[in-house]
Amino acid sequence: MVSVTRAVFGDLPLGAGTVEKFQLQSDQLRVDIISWGCTITALEVKDRQGRASDLVLGFAELEGYLQKQPYFGAVVGRVANRIAKGTFTLDGKEYQLAINNGPNSLHGGVRGFDKVLWTPQVLSNGVEFSRVSPDGEEGYPGELKVWVTYTLDGGELVINYRAQASQTTPVNLTNHSYFNLAGQGSPNIYDHEVTIEADTFLPVDETLIPTAVPLGALFTLCGYERLMCPLPPSDCKRLKKAGHVSSMYQLCPAQCLAYREVAPVQGTAFDLRKPVELGKHLQEFHMNGFDHNFCLKGSKEKRFCARAPAP
């Protein structure tokens, strides 16, 4: 049995509208979602001892979401992640998007889907949000109708995305929640165990754009020494920065002529195919964290992709 309640969360400045909060609750979990950005503000589940705890980062009041913040819990789009220099070519025409992240366009631009008021519709086991993104919004071509549905099924939260465009246009929607599975009050996630079923990943440049790099330069830890390599020093520094690392890495001259965009995780810090404790793994590879795309294996059928339990 799922209950759905509706309440006012706050009013937007200058009479721009009222933001509502929808609380979905089953016997096993509770999720709060607001109509501003389709944002998940709380996700409460019970631990092994039956104690309920909120697992996502968010704000108790609307004001927090109206300030500059890292997309806490929001739906981002039209395109999640970065588009290099905010430009792309489609059907022979070049489009210029809004720039909002260094030289690039991030998560839909200056006023992406996270910064708009969506229209809600209550369902028996959840809530559906919809909006129409007009032709040219943030530089994207075509009108885009979007529906995002949150439903509860026992202990499972299901998010469904649907979009309909008036012409060909890029669409890549996702939810941008930040999780701490140890619950509210836990200081960090370093004790979380992470597994990602990916044989390859996308290396990135200094602005976090995926880029082709020499295979031999891909993050094989070698203490604080580096072998000789034909790569210029500027490329070595770029690779070091792109990997979010603080140590030097072995570069193999025999492979430096082979370039590709998808890099194998084998022998790198990105090999998470077997469970690793996050804090120890980052410390071992002298990394601050991951901000990369992992390339999942397999077909489009439902399958194991990743797991991240807390102790």
- Ligand-binding annotation for 81, yes or no, is yes
> Tens of pLDDT along 189-236?
999 999 999 999 988 889 999 886 544 444 333 222 232 233 444 444
> Tens of pLDDT along 155-184?
899 999 999 999 999 999 999 999 999 998
* Cis status of the peptide bond prior to 82, with omega within 30 of 0: no
- Ligand-binding annotation for 259, yes or no, is no
| SS3 at position 138 | helix
Record the tokens describing residue 287, joined without a space: 């990394």
Closest by CA position to 282, among listed 309, 239, 243, 252: 243
Report the range of poorest mean pLDDT among 22-36, 39-53, 162-176.
Answer: 39-53
Give me the pLDDT at residue 260, please.
Answer: 53
Torsion of CA 2, 311, 278, 38, to 10 degrees: 10
Name 49's Cβ contacts closer than 8 Å, sequence gap at least 6: none
How far is residue 254's CA from residue 228's CA, in Å, rounded to a whole number? 11
> How many other CB atoms are there within 10 angstroms of residue 119's CB atom?
11
| SS3 at position 107 | coil
| CATH for the 3-175 domain, from 2.70.98.10, 3.20.20.70, 2.60.40.420, 3.30.390.50 | 2.70.98.10
- Say if residue 302's pLDDT is above 70: yes
Name 86's Cβ contacts closer than 8 Å, sequence gap at least 6: 96, 97, 98, 99, 103, 104, 105, 109, 139
Where exactly are the structural domains of the chain? 3-175, 193-307
User: Average of pLDDT values for 100-113?
Assistant: 98
